[in-house]
Amino acid sequence: MKLLRKDIEKDNAGQVTLVPEEPEDMWHTYNLVQVGDSLRASTIRKVQTESSTGSVGSSRVRTTLTLCVEAIDFDSQACQLRVRGTNLQENEYVKMGAYHTIELEPNRQFTLAKKQWDSVVLARIEQACDPAWSADVAAVVMQEGLAHVCLVTPSMTLTRAKVEVSIPRKRRGNCSQHDRALERFYEQVVQAVQRHIHFDVVKCVLVASPGFVREQFCDYMFQQAVKTDNKVLLENRSKFLQVHASSGHKYSLKEVLCDPTVASRLSDTKAAGEVKALDDFYKMLQHEPDRACYGLKHVEKANEATAIDTLLISDELFRHQEVAARSRYVRLVDSVKENAGTVRIFSSLHVSGEQLSQLTGVAAILRFPVPELSDQEDSSSEED
C-alpha cells in the first residue's frame, strides 16, 4: 500500500489518499472503510445515450465518484472489495443521491474521508504502508493424498491450492498402484508450489505432515529438481523447513506455527507473534487461570485495575456497525497502551484469529490476579 496524501485535522477529521498495490492491501482497505465514510475513486458506470434520431443505446464510461458508504463486501479468496453507497457529488453521468457500487482496483488511487480517525485505523494505515509487512512465509500442510499450499501473510492465511489424490492401500506383495498414485500426488504438489510460491519474496517454506510424508515429498521434489535442472527449487532449497503436523488440513497450520523451531525461524513476522500470544494465553489459562480472562466485561474490569499485560483482540470487532461499540474497543486498546501493556490485533482471516473469535474476540493475559473477576465468575456460577 502506498500513502499519497494524509490530511487529518486536530479534531481527527480528515482524509487520506492511498494506492493498493497487492491483493492483501484490499484486506487492509476493508478494515479501513466503514459505513458513513466518504470514498472517492475511479469507477465504471453504464450510461444510456439518446441519439438525434431518438434511438437509445448504452455504453460504459470511466468516471470518478464520491460515495457515502452504505455497504462493504470483501471476497477473501479473490481479494476483491466492493463498496456500495449514494453519490455525494453530482457529475454528468450520475445524479446526486443515486446508488452506485465501486470495485476498488489495484494500482488505482482512492481517497477516504472520515469524521473521526481513531488510533486503530491510523495504526493499520501505518502497518499497510510499511514494506516490511510482506507475505514472507509459505506452508505446505500435507498427508497422504491431501495437501494445502498456503501463504501466511501478516494479516491472513491464504489457501492458494488444495491437492487431493486418491491413494490405494498397499497390498501384500504389490505396492505398484500405491507408489504410482503417491508419485502422481507429489508431482501435483510440486507444481502447486512452483505456481503459487514466489521465492523472491518468501523467506521460509514450511513443509508439515504427520509421519514421514514430508521427508518423502522433499526427497521426491529435489530429486526431480536435479533431473530437470530446476534452478529455482535448487537455489531455494535452504528455505524449506520440515516440521510435524497432525494432519494435512489447514487448521494444522496453527500447531505448526507454534513449533519452537518454526518460531525462531519466523521471529520477525507478525503471524508468528500472534500465534505465540494466543499460545501464551492458553498456557496461562491452564496453569494460572487467575491471570487470564476473556469476554469484553471481564477484560474491561481487568483494564480498570491496570492489570493487562497483553491484550488479544480481533480486528473483526473494529468493523462493528455501531459506532458506540466500535469506540468502546478503540478506547480499550488506547487505555491498555497508555498503561504500558502490549496490544495484539489478530486478523479474523488468520488461523489464530479464527480461534480468538471463538473466545468472544477479546482476551487478556494479566500482570496479576484481579479478585473482582473471580468474584464475578463465582456469582455467575451460583446463578446457574
Please tell me the predicted confidence (pLDDT) of residue 132. Answer: 42
309 Cα distance to chain centroid: 24
Please tell me the predicted confidence (pLDDT) of residue 381. Answer: 42
Interacting residues of 82 by C-beta distance below 8 A, sequence separation 6+:
72, 73, 74, 101, 102, 103, 104
- Closest by CA position to 137, among listed 275, 295, 296: 275
Q: How far is CA 32 from CA 4, 111, 112, 191, in A?
A: 16, 11, 9, 36
Please tell me the predicted confidence (pLDDT) of residue 121. Answer: 93
Long-range contacts of 223-226 (CB under 8 A, 24+ apart): 224/187, 224/190
Question: How many CB atoms neighbour CB 261 within 10 A?
Answer: 12
Q: Is domain 271-377 classified as CATH 3.30.1330.30? A: yes
CA 87 – CA 69 distance, rounded (Å)? 9
- Supply 147's cell numbers: 495437501
Backbone angles phi, psi at 373, to 5 degrees: -70, -45
- Supply 129's cell numbers: 504502508
C-alpha angle 182/187/193, rounded to 5°?
125
Taking the chain (384 residues) in consecutive chunks of 10 residues, what is each chunk's mean pLDDT?
92 94 86 95 86 78 94 85 94 91 92 94 85 70 95 79 90 79 95 89 90 95 95 91 93 86 67 82 94 95 95 92 88 95 88 91 95 61 41
* CATH C-level class of 136-268: alpha beta
- Closest by CA position to 209, among listed 185, 240, 182, 245: 245
Q: How far is CA 301 from CA 295, 312, 328, 336, 364, in A?
A: 10, 15, 13, 12, 11
CA 80 – CA 82 distance, rounded (Å)? 7
Alpha helices (H) in 288-322, listed in sequence order: 296-304
Q: How many helices (H) and strands (E) does the chain have?
A: 12, 16
C-alpha angle 41/134/349, rounded to 5°?
75
- The beta strands (E) that lie in the chain are given as 2-8, 14-19, 38-50, 56-75, 80-87, 99-104, 110-114, 137-143, 146-152, 157-164, 204-209, 240-244, 292-294, 308-314, 342-346, 362-366
Please tell me the predicted confidence (pLDDT) of residue 194. Answer: 94
Please tell me the predicted confidence (pLDDT) of residue 380. Answer: 45
What's the chain's Rg over C-alpha atoms? Answer: 25
Q: Is domain 2-47+59-129 classified as CATH 2.30.30.870? A: yes
Give the neighbor-by-neighbor strand order of the sheet with 110-114: 2-8, 14-19, 110-114, 38-50, 56-75, 80-87, 99-104
Q: How far is CA 270 from CA 26, 32, 312, 353, in A?
A: 18, 19, 13, 12
Give CATH 2.30.30.870 domain extents, the chain.
Answer: 2-47+59-129
Give CATH 3.30.1330.30 domain extents, the chain.
Answer: 271-377
